[in-house]
Protein backbone atom coordinates (compact mmCIF):
# COMPACT_ATOMS: atom_id res chain seq x y z
CA UNK A 1 0.00 0.00 0.00
CA UNK A 2 1.36 3.42 -0.87
CA UNK A 3 1.10 6.51 1.31
CA UNK A 4 0.27 10.11 0.48
CA UNK A 5 3.35 12.33 0.22
CA UNK A 6 2.66 14.76 3.04
CA UNK A 7 1.46 14.54 6.58
CA UNK A 8 0.83 16.98 9.43
CA UNK A 9 4.47 17.83 10.25
CA UNK A 10 6.05 17.49 6.83
CA UNK A 11 7.77 20.12 4.75
CA UNK A 12 5.86 20.33 1.48
CA UNK A 13 5.71 22.17 -1.81
CA UNK A 14 2.74 23.15 -3.91
CA UNK A 15 3.57 20.27 -6.25
CA UNK A 16 3.41 17.85 -3.30
CA UNK A 17 -0.02 19.18 -2.34
CA UNK A 18 -1.30 18.91 -5.89
CA UNK A 19 0.11 15.39 -6.29
CA UNK A 20 -1.65 14.26 -3.10
CA UNK A 21 -4.87 15.96 -4.19
CA UNK A 22 -4.72 14.26 -7.61
CA UNK A 23 -4.03 10.92 -5.90
CA UNK A 24 -6.99 11.36 -3.56
CA UNK A 25 -9.18 12.45 -6.46
CA UNK A 26 -8.34 9.25 -8.34
CA UNK A 27 -9.13 7.24 -5.19
CA UNK A 28 -12.49 8.99 -4.79
CA UNK A 29 -13.27 8.41 -8.49
CA UNK A 30 -12.33 4.75 -8.12
CA UNK A 31 -14.58 4.33 -5.10
CA UNK A 32 -17.42 6.10 -6.93
CA UNK A 33 -17.10 3.60 -9.81
CA UNK A 34 -17.16 0.71 -7.32
CA UNK A 35 -20.32 2.11 -5.70
CA UNK A 36 -21.97 2.79 -9.08
CA UNK A 37 -21.26 -0.81 -10.13
CA UNK A 38 -23.25 -2.19 -7.19
CA UNK A 39 -26.52 -3.84 -8.23
CA UNK A 40 -29.44 -1.41 -8.38
CA UNK A 41 -31.72 -1.42 -5.33
CA UNK A 42 -29.38 -3.79 -3.47
CA UNK A 43 -29.04 -1.51 -0.44
CA UNK A 44 -25.63 -3.06 0.26
CA UNK A 45 -24.29 0.13 1.81
CA UNK A 46 -27.44 1.27 3.55
CA UNK A 47 -29.09 4.66 3.17
CA UNK A 48 -26.95 6.40 5.83
CA UNK A 49 -23.62 5.35 4.31
CA UNK A 50 -24.80 6.17 0.80
CA UNK A 51 -25.83 9.66 1.96
CA UNK A 52 -22.55 10.14 3.82
CA UNK A 53 -20.56 9.05 0.77
CA UNK A 54 -22.53 11.31 -1.59
CA UNK A 55 -21.99 14.26 0.74
CA UNK A 56 -18.26 13.58 1.03
CA UNK A 57 -17.91 13.12 -2.71
CA UNK A 58 -19.68 16.43 -3.40
CA UNK A 59 -17.61 18.34 -0.82
CA UNK A 60 -14.36 16.81 -2.09
CA UNK A 61 -15.18 17.54 -5.72
CA UNK A 62 -15.94 21.17 -4.93
CA UNK A 63 -12.73 21.58 -2.91
CA UNK A 64 -10.62 19.82 -5.55
CA UNK A 65 -12.08 21.80 -8.45
CA UNK A 66 -11.65 25.14 -6.65
CA UNK A 67 -8.16 24.49 -5.28
CA UNK A 68 -6.22 22.05 -7.45
CA UNK A 69 -7.93 21.01 -10.68
CA UNK A 70 -6.81 23.87 -12.89
CA UNK A 71 -3.83 25.14 -10.92
CA UNK A 72 -0.51 25.98 -12.52
CA UNK A 73 2.94 26.21 -10.90
CA UNK A 74 2.28 29.71 -9.53
CA UNK A 75 -1.08 28.64 -8.09
CA UNK A 76 0.62 25.61 -6.52
CA UNK A 77 3.16 27.93 -4.90
CA UNK A 78 0.42 30.15 -3.47
CA UNK A 79 -1.51 27.10 -2.28
CA UNK A 80 1.57 25.84 -0.42
CA UNK A 81 1.94 29.15 1.45
CA UNK A 82 -1.27 28.39 3.34
CA UNK A 83 -0.81 25.51 5.81
CA UNK A 84 -4.60 25.34 6.01
CA UNK A 85 -4.67 23.84 2.51
CA UNK A 86 -2.39 21.02 3.67
CA UNK A 87 -4.47 20.49 6.80
CA UNK A 88 -7.73 20.45 4.86
CA UNK A 89 -6.32 18.00 2.33
CA UNK A 90 -5.20 15.69 5.14
CA UNK A 91 -8.69 15.92 6.67
CA UNK A 92 -10.20 14.83 3.34
CA UNK A 93 -7.67 11.97 3.12
CA UNK A 94 -8.64 10.84 6.64
CA UNK A 95 -12.37 11.12 5.95
CA UNK A 96 -11.93 9.12 2.77
CA UNK A 97 -9.96 6.44 4.63
CA UNK A 98 -12.75 6.18 7.24
CA UNK A 99 -15.44 5.90 4.58
CA UNK A 100 -13.35 3.35 2.69
CA UNK A 101 -13.17 1.20 5.83
CA UNK A 102 -16.94 1.49 6.38
CA UNK A 103 -17.61 0.47 2.78
CA UNK A 104 -15.19 -2.47 3.05
CA UNK A 105 -16.96 -3.55 6.25
CA UNK A 106 -20.17 -3.84 4.20
CA UNK A 107 -18.42 -6.43 2.01
CA UNK A 108 -17.83 -4.18 -0.98
CA UNK A 109 -14.62 -5.04 -2.84
CA UNK A 110 -12.62 -1.85 -3.19
CA UNK A 111 -9.14 -3.23 -3.85
CA UNK A 112 -8.34 -0.41 -6.28
CA UNK A 113 -8.43 2.02 -3.38
CA UNK A 114 -5.12 1.52 -1.62
CA UNK A 115 -3.46 4.73 -0.47
CA UNK A 116 -2.85 5.25 3.24
CA UNK A 117 -2.99 8.59 5.01
CA UNK A 118 0.48 9.89 5.87
CA UNK A 119 1.15 10.37 9.56
CA UNK A 120 3.77 12.98 8.72
CA UNK A 121 7.39 13.27 9.63
CA UNK A 122 8.28 12.01 13.10
CA UNK A 123 10.26 15.19 13.78
CA UNK A 124 8.78 18.61 14.23
CA UNK A 125 10.63 21.83 13.41
CA UNK A 126 11.44 22.23 17.11
CA UNK A 127 13.13 18.83 17.19
CA UNK A 128 14.99 19.63 13.99
CA UNK A 129 16.34 22.89 15.42
CA UNK A 130 17.40 21.07 18.61
CA UNK A 131 19.25 18.47 16.52
CA UNK A 132 21.03 21.19 14.52
CA UNK A 133 21.98 23.01 17.73
CA UNK A 134 23.33 19.79 19.29
CA UNK A 135 25.42 19.09 16.20
CA UNK A 136 26.67 22.67 16.16
CA UNK A 137 27.82 22.40 19.80
CA UNK A 138 30.02 19.48 18.81
CA UNK A 139 31.47 21.28 15.80
CA UNK A 140 31.77 24.88 16.95
CA UNK A 141 34.66 26.15 19.12
CA UNK A 142 34.32 25.91 22.89
CA UNK A 143 31.02 24.01 22.67
CA UNK A 144 29.04 27.14 21.78
CA UNK A 145 25.52 26.64 20.57
CA UNK A 146 24.56 27.71 17.09
CA UNK A 147 22.71 30.80 18.35
CA UNK A 148 25.70 32.00 20.40
CA UNK A 149 28.04 31.39 17.47
CA UNK A 150 25.82 33.41 15.13
CA UNK A 151 25.61 36.30 17.61
CA UNK A 152 29.41 36.37 18.00
CA UNK A 153 29.87 36.17 14.21
CA UNK A 154 27.45 39.08 13.73
CA UNK A 155 29.21 41.22 16.36
CA UNK A 156 32.58 40.57 14.75
CA UNK A 157 31.22 41.29 11.27
CA UNK A 158 29.31 44.43 12.28
CA UNK A 159 31.68 46.05 14.78
CA UNK A 160 35.19 44.62 14.46
CA UNK A 161 35.72 44.21 10.73
CA UNK A 162 34.69 47.80 9.81
CA UNK A 163 37.14 49.20 12.43
CA UNK A 164 39.96 47.07 11.09
CA UNK A 165 39.20 48.23 7.56
CA UNK A 166 39.46 51.93 8.51
CA UNK A 167 42.98 51.62 9.97
* Cα-based distances in Å from 166 to 155, 156, 158, 160: 17, 15, 13, 10
Residues 104 and 133 in one domain: no
Residues 41 and 61 in one domain: yes
pLDDT attached to residue 118: 64
Residues 86 and 104 in one domain: yes
Residues 22 and 104 in one domain: yes
Comparing 2 with 113, the larger pLDDT belongs to 113
Query: Cβ neighbours of residue 22 under 8 Å, at least 6 residues apart?
Result: 68
Residues 90 and 137 in one domain: no
| pLDDT beyond 70 at 44 | yes
Residue pLDDT, tens place only, 88-141 = 888 898 899 899 889 888 888 776 666 666 655 544 555 556 666 666 666 555
Residues 28 and 90 in one domain: yes
Residues 105 and 142 in one domain: no
Residues 25 and 80 in one domain: yes
* Cα-based distances in Å from 92 to 33, 53, 64, 164: 19, 12, 10, 60
pTM (predicted TM-score): 0.63
Domain count, the chain: 2
For residue 147, the enclosing domain spans 125-165
Query: Of 79, 98, 116, at which residue does a domain stop?
Result: 116
Residues 112 and 132 in one domain: no
Amino acid sequence: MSTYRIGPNDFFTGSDLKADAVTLNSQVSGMSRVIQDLPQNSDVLGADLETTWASFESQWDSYFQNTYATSNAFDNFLTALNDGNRDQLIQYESRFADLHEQIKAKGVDSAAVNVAVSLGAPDTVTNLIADIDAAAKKLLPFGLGLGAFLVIAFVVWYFVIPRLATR
